[in-house]
Chain A
């Protein structure tokens, strides 16, 4: 039953897993696209640690890279929740493709839409929805969780800035046409000097380093960046000087729901591969699914995934409703990444020896899930953030 049908029937509080007709259609379309068109590429991209350009092209063609962008700029003009469903469906097939789509939609597009001047939106939004990938550059070798101690500097010279520094762990860097670089214009002001700069790929002095050789999410390029006296005109400042730290925090609060959706899809996709095996594999005269120990483990994992889904969907709906959602977003990201770790680990065990080989897909899910507890705010950071909210709740 769609949200519209529920409303027509006077059902005021439909279950969390109720979608509008548009959301339902999008989810089904992306599910079909991912299972049929993306699946054949997955294993090779993982092995070669390289995202196939065909895959990126098809993401743009399907309208998956500009989900919330206004049709005026070539986007789909849909909602945040639709993005969440799209990321979940993509992650069921490949977490690397999902993260590319997630960063584009929840970080890059959101920043441009919220903060861009008319000229900046004109210049970048239509490219971002049709053919250009974006990268978000905050982390450095010496500043990960302690993001705002970043050292990259931007010195003002008349009507342009000169940026110097290095960035690390930059996703999509190999493919990006535009980089949103967080740099400090005034280190003496501490984090209040951090500002956001739009840097085009062909800017002189921008060097994209060799990509990391990673355990998982291998098809997603993760590179260091060197910024060597790069000149950025004033008109390429996104938002206001000195407000960068606020933008980063705000946007990461939303991005974390996207990562939750990615981990959720990953867990579900892995589960969907493993359970059919347990229903086919016979030992001691019966399906291994029929052993009570297996049933209990499978049911436990299914419960965790369901809980993860509800946390994720609820955080997304809260954000859409304009209600406070930061604590819930942290909970969603923290919980789903832990569930992904549990699920993938168990799925390999359930599949026994074959689960441990690369001929079967579950080992890739196991490798891919680990980054979930680390990036876009480590588990410890999520927990500390939640604790701050909880503390405040008991203030009288």
Chain B
């Protein structure tokens, strides 16, 4: 994921044109978990969903090549896409989860471009479903899901009822590579197209980005010989 990101000259955001986009790594882990659950026969069907312009179909196809059964592309482009944030996506997911009568919604814990870490939580709240976030282990037990969560203090194990929302953390699994035969099979799988309006979702953002700046350039440090020198320097520049 080595990409040099530049802030736009008008400070309205970062330059995304010409930057290679691929599936968010936590979402890859989420897809892998869903496909694994299907292989273990806990769930019947996995639907891969992505919201965005035409290019996202490539990402959906990758999910299909990993083993999802079908895809849904929710078309969002232009200004709506630039303003799209976790709340709008959560609304779309909530609407789709109801429409598809899903028993689980599995997402990556956060996207590595904005690091919001909100979509899963918001989706659960809108649906009034239980949530198992930062999952490092998922076990289905009848109508309940046991989730081991990675938290600051260590690991927390919870049991929640389905339908539920789960978000995938790093150690949940190692995503498979799409094999060539599966890529060929993915060609035949269907991707449905729809717009947010079809789901009754209003895409208006309640958040306005005022300005985006690069972090300040790191200044050179100063080396000192003794602890006394250090204290003197810190006092001199007002730090202590």
Contact = CB atoms under 8 A, between A and B. Distances in A.
A26 interface: yes
Interface stretch (A57-65, A115-123, A337-345): A57-65
A190 interface: no
B136 interface: no
Given A25-B62, A29-B65, A37 B177 contact: yes
A29 B183 contact: yes
Interface in A4-54: 21-22, 25-26, 29-30, 32-33, 37
Contacts of B58: 25
Q: By CB atoms of chain A within 10 A, which of B65, B184, B186 has the most?
A: B184
Nearest to B54: A5
A29 B178 contact: yes
Interface in B80-125: none
B61 A25 contact: yes
A26 B177 CA distance: 11
Interface stretch (A70-78, A226-234, A312-320, A371-379): A70-78
A322 to B, nearest CB: 22
A348 interface: no
Nearest to A62: B179
B179 A25 contact: no
A294 B58 CA distance: 38
B179 A63 contact: yes
Contacts of A86: 180
B177 A29 contact: yes
Contacts, number: 47
B154 interface: no
B180 A64 contact: yes
B179 to A, nearest CB: 5
Interface in A275-302: none
Nearest to A20: B187
Given A25-B65, A29-B65, A76 B181 contact: yes
A26 B180 contact: yes
A78 B65 contact: no
Contacts of A22: 183-184, 187
A82 B177 CA distance: 17
Interface size class of A (residues with CB under 8 A): 20 to 34
B139 to A, nearest CB: 26
Nearest to A32: B177
Contacts of B181: 63, 71, 75-77
A75 B181 CA distance: 7
Given A22-B184, A22-B187, A78-B184, A61 B179 contact: yes
B180 A78 contact: yes
A78 B187 CA distance: 12
A67 B177 contact: no
Contact of B180 (A21, A29, A32, A37): A29
A77 B183 contact: no
Interface string A111-151: 00000000000000000000000000000000000000000
Contacts of B180: 26, 29-30, 62-64, 67, 76, 78, 82, 86
A71 B187 CA distance: 14
A77 B184 CA distance: 8
A37 B187 CA distance: 25
A78 B58 CA distance: 19
Contacts of B184: 22, 71, 76-78
A33 B187 contact: no
A120 B234 CA distance: 82
Interface string B180-220: 11111011000000000000000000000000000000000
Interface of A: 21-22, 25-26, 29-30, 32-33, 37, 61-64, 67, 71, 75-78, 82, 86
12 contacts: A22-B187, A25-B61, A25-B178, A25-B186, A29-B178, A29-B180, A29-B183, A37-B177, A62-B180, A63-B182, A76-B184, A77-B184
Query: Which 5 pairs, one residue from A and one from B, show the smallest C-beta to C-beta distance?
Result: A63-B180, A76-B180, A63-B181, A63-B179, A29-B178
Given A29-B183, A30-B180, A82-B180, 17 more contacts: A21-B61, A22-B184, A22-B187, A25-B58, A25-B65, A25-B183, A25-B186, A26-B183, A29-B179, A29-B180, A33-B177, A37-B177, A62-B179, A76-B180, A76-B181, A76-B183, A76-B184
